[in-house]
Structure 1
Amino acid sequence: MNTPPSPPTAERAGGSSVRLGALVPLTRPGWVEAGRHLLAGLDLAVAEVNAAGGIGGRALELVVRDTAADPARAAAAVDELAGLGVSAVVGEYHSVVARAAAARADALGVPFLCSSAVLDALTEEPTAWVARLAPPQSRGWRIYADFLLGDGRRRIAVAAQPSVYWASGVRVLREHLAAHDGTVMELDADALTPEALCDALVDHGVTALLLLVGQPEPAVPFVRAVRGDRRLADVLIGAPAGQPELASWSAALREDGAGIPFLRYLPERLGPLGERVGKELRERLGEAPSFVAFEGWDTVTVLASALRSHGTDRAALAASWPRVAVEGTRGPIRFARTPGTGVWQWAGAPIHVADRDPADPDRFRVLHVG
């Protein structure tokens, strides 16, 4: 089911509100749980902006569109939102979808602040219209490779499905590990049964398996198979893209889902602002907020600051990226040009490697800080 449009009064050109278009995966095959957390963060920040007087006395309003992890649908949504007169577009979780949205925003001259997607090359060419809060994939996955090396894992297998995002991650891992005498072997996740995957891991003597696959399928059956194979008792299972962060992972796998390291875009400890926002997000979600929810809150907070300082003109907003200085839930946010990304990037986005504690799967452990 598609996300229903916002009320006509919110979308009518010349209305009294300041509108932001929001791209969120809310239906499958999108990662719906991540989309729900992202939208919770966006919504909470909008409510707080409006409680504080809005933007120059005008209410801030989200016009939400469900991308369902479909790049073409996201591009069409940017077209629609631009026609509705939004001042900027925010959001999106899936990298390939965000890339399509960024390209369309650039072509139309609409500011796009990407919340969660990490693919380095978010645009083909450098653009002034796009900024991003999530760290680039190359930075995060090099940190993950350092964690593997520090844990003595040098013979790595990746079970991957076809995707520009997964292929980019494998390339980062291979290059970084090769410089430290590590190896990366690729396995086609779509061609292997869980049992065949286990046999391949044994045959190649790997010390770690990284799951670069969708969740719950085929991630959940792969984890269960490896956990149940005594030959692989010493093999580390990893999921750098963050599948274990969300509650559905723990619900599906229980104890088997613990002890699986992943990348988490949070500081080791949240400050007072992060603690306060985290508490309110928990109340909205009915569960612990993921880093994706914090990314949503930070996104709207950044844009609200820019809107108050520079007005609703799209060109003025895009020109304001290098002058942003906002206290976010995860630290001070400022944008800079980062080589290889083509967009304005929050260079200081925090990263650590975490897992769910095997002794208490509802608790997260910080294993390595980037």
Structure 2
Amino acid sequence: MTGLSRRQLVKGSALALGTGLAAPALAASGPIRIGWLPALTGPSSSTGIAINRGIVFGVAELNAAGGIQGRKVELVVRDTQSDPTKAVNAAAELTRSEKVNVLYGPGNSGEALACTAVIARARTPQLNPCFVDEVIDAEKYPLAFRTAPSNQQVGAAANRFVMDILKIRQIAVIGDTSGYGTSSVKAFAGMLTAAGATVAYEATIDANQPDLLPDMMRMRNAGARAIMPWSVNPGFLSRILNVRAAMGWDVIVAGQPTLGSGQTRALLDRPENWEKVYQTNFRNLCYGEDGRLPPRTADLVARLQAAKVETSDTLLWWIAAGYDIAALVAAAVREVGEAPERMASYWNTAGPFDGVYGRYAWGPRQHNGYPDEGVVMSQANSFRDGTFRLAPGYD
């Protein structure tokens, strides 16, 4: 059994059967098709490249173990190229022409905002790894389930760290001009204001803008004592850190997980530019003071290393998020078959599911399945093969 524990899947089976969803006999042949919409190219591709490593590895392990009661799992991938229009076209192709059984993604929130209604109209179950709040609504999109925290959860963790642990109240909130960046700045600035902070500077900035010095000067002149950037673009984030260093501005930077990615590190002018940088992360993917990862995570890392799957240039949680998908799909199909409503009913009733990335638990009226306590902050410069040490203030 890979990913989700056998104990949890047995528990899930009993709950599903208890709701009348008797497990049907599976067809003797024919693959289970998972559609996957990553950005493998373009400015927002860092997330998609890493998640792709995880889901490809998870599907390969599942198939090597015999698939789902003898049926192979087929991954049908379309590169969205970081473009919401291309993502919509790919979503329509996978759900209507390719007739996938489940759709995972898109991997970036701006693309997910454009695609969610298209996927819902096709009546295709969707597992969504994006943070932006609007892509999940159990009433509007009853077949769509979030397999990551929402922006509200991510923002709460980051805001608590900056305000309650670092005791900073004057904050600059910035993002790029993507759908994710724009929606995140609006959401997080509002959350900070409601919590009693002063949003000293608020802006969305073109990620391709070559010179960030004018914006950084305005942030400093506005009195910001911390910058909270929200972008999945490592080039944009690295330029923020490089300009901060060139200015000699000793300001805290805390925000989006990509701040700590290997891609961002590779674009820094100096390693020291990663100091006083903290990013949202996940408790299962952080190591303790003893340098050890949780056992389930350490086991996955060992298997990734044996298979020569690269983790040193990315974030391990992205890989783990993709890895868990194969097991979530397998659990549903194994117990109730591939009819969309049956799969949704199974996920609604059969949890919680223990994955590597996190513990997922949904209900008929709540399709945000990631636990609040799983969202933490970590130290960027403690990077080790995609994992991090917890930031100050966490156990």
Deviation of residue 266 (structure 1)? 3.8
Deviation of residue 183 (structure 1)? 0.9
Q: Give me the whole-angstrom Cα distance separating, in 1, the residues matched to 2:384 and 2:331.
A: 39
Q: 2:71 matched to 1:45? A: no
SS in 2 for 1:24: coil
Task: Map 1:46-195 to 2 at 5 A.
Answer: 46-82=59-95, 83-114=97-128, 116-123=129-136, 126-149=140-163, 150-184=165-199, 185-190=201-206, 193-195=211-213
Q: Give me the whole-angstrom Cα distance separating, in 2, the residues matched to 1:45 and 1:361.
A: 19
Partner of 1:3 in structure 2? none
Unpaired runs of 5+ residues, structure 1, are 1-13
Q: 2:319 matched to 1:302? A: no
User: Are residues 214 and 35 of structure 1, via their aligned partners in 2, closer, same or farther at CA, if it must alter by over 3 Å?
Assistant: closer
Partner of 1:206 in structure 2? 224
Unpaired runs of 5+ residues, structure 2, are 1-27, 288-292
SS in 2 for 1:156: strand
> Whose relative contact order is higher, 1 or 2, with alpha carbons under 8 Å and at least 6 apart?
2
Q: Deviations over 1:296-315 (max 9, x none)?
A: 01112111100101112223
Q: Deviations over 1:221-263 (max 9, x none)?
A: 3221111223x22x1122x221223211111113313431111
Partner of 2:390 in structure 1? 366
Q: 2:369 matched to 1:346? A: yes
Deviation of residue 335 (structure 1)? 1.3
Q: Normalised by the size of structure 1, how large is the TM-score?
A: 0.85
Q: Deviations over 1:183-227 (max 9, x none)?
A: 112145348933323322332221012223463443323221111
Partner of 2:359 in structure 1? 332
Deviation of residue 180 (structure 1)? 4.1
**Kept in 1: contact 2:311–2:385 (CA 8 A):** no
> Whose strand proportion is higher, 1 or 2?
1
User: Are residues 259 and 84 of structure 1, via their aligned partners in 2, closer, same or farther at CA, if it must alter by over 3 Å?
Assistant: same
User: Are residues 277 and 195 of structure 1, via their aligned partners in 2, closer, same or farther at CA, if it must alter by over 3 Å?
Assistant: same
Deviation of residue 276 (structure 1)? 1.2
Letter in 2 for 1:68: Q
**Kept in 2: contact 1:19–1:87 (CA 8 A):** yes
SS in 2 for 1:353: strand
Letter in 2 for 1:88: V
Partner of 2:4 in structure 1? none
Deviation of residue 81 (structure 1)? 1.6
Bigger mean CA deviation after superposition, 38-47 or 256-265: 256-265
Identical-pair percentage: 24
Letter in 1 for 2:62: V
Deviation of residue 93 (structure 1)? 1.9
Equivalent position to 2:39, from 21, 25, 34 = 25
Give the paired residue count: 348
Bigger mean CA deviation after superposition, 55-64 or 175-184: 175-184
Q: Give me the whole-angstrom Cα distance separating, in 2, the residues matched to 1:295 and 1:210.
A: 24
